[in-house]
Amino acid sequence: MIEVARPPRGHRLSRLARRPLRTVRPTDAADVYAYPRQQLAKLAGNGELLRIATGYYIVVPRANQDRPWVPQLEAVAAGIGAADFGQDSAILMGVSAARLHGAIPRSLATAMVAAPRQRRRVRLLDRPADVVFVKRDTTRLDAVRTATELGAALITSIEQTILDIAHRPELGGAEEYALESLDVLLPRADPDRLRDLARKQRLMAGLTRVLSLPRDDTA
- The reply to whether 103 and 187 lie within a common domain is yes
Q: What percent of the chain has pLDDT over 70?
A: 93
Q: pLDDT value at position 63? A: 86
Residues 170 and 191 in one domain: yes
Widest CA span in the chain: 79
pLDDT, residue 210, reads: 82
Report the distance separating Cα 173 and Cα 169, nearest Å: 9
Residues 6+ positions from 155 with CB-CB distance below 8 Å: 78, 91, 92, 93, 96, 97, 100, 101, 143, 144, 145, 146, 161
Residue 135 has pLDDT above 70, yes or no: yes
Residues 50 and 155 in one domain: no
pLDDT higher than 80, residue 33: yes
Query: Across the chain, what does the average pLDDT equal?
Result: 92
**Residue 203 placed within a domain:** yes
Cβ contact 75:155 at 8 Å: no
Residue 3 lies in a domain: no
Q: How many domains does the chain have?
A: 2
Regarding whether 124 and 59 lie in a shared domain, the answer is no
Last residue of a domain, one of 25, 43, 64: 64
At 9 the pLDDT is 57
Task: Identify the CA nearest to 123 among candidates 172, 54, 73, 68.
Answer: 54
- What per-residue confidence (pLDDT) applies to 80? 98
Q: How far apart are CA 69 and CA 154, in angstroms?
A: 23
Q: Which pLDDT score is estimated for 2?
A: 41
pLDDT tens readout for residues 64-109: 888 889 999 999 999 999 999 999 999 999 999 999 999 999 999 9
CATH number at residue 18: 1.10.10
Q: Do 155 and 92 meet the contact criterion of CB atoms below 8 Å apart?
A: yes
Cβ–Cβ under 8 Å, residues 95 and 108: yes
| Structural domain includes residue 217 | no
Number of helices (H), then strands (E), belonging to the chain: the values are 8, 9
Q: Please enumerate, as own/partner, the contacts of 196-201 that have beta carbons within 8 Å and a separation of 24 or more.
A: 197/142, 197/159, 197/160, 197/163, 198/163, 201/140, 201/163
- Quick one: 99 and 150 in the same domain? yes
Residue 134 phi/psi, 5° resolution? -120, 125
Mean pLDDT of 19-25: 96
Q: What's the pLDDT score for residue 218? A: 55
If asked whether residues 56 and 108 sit together in one domain, one would say no
Which tens digit of pLDDT belongs to each residue from 159-215?
Answer: 999 999 999 999 989 999 999 999 999 999 999 999 999 999 999 998 898 888 766
Same domain? For 23 and 92 the reply is no
- Look at residue 4 and tell me if it is in a domain: no
Structural domain containing residue 194: 73-211
pTM: 0.90
Task: Say whether both 185 and 77 belong to one domain.
Answer: yes
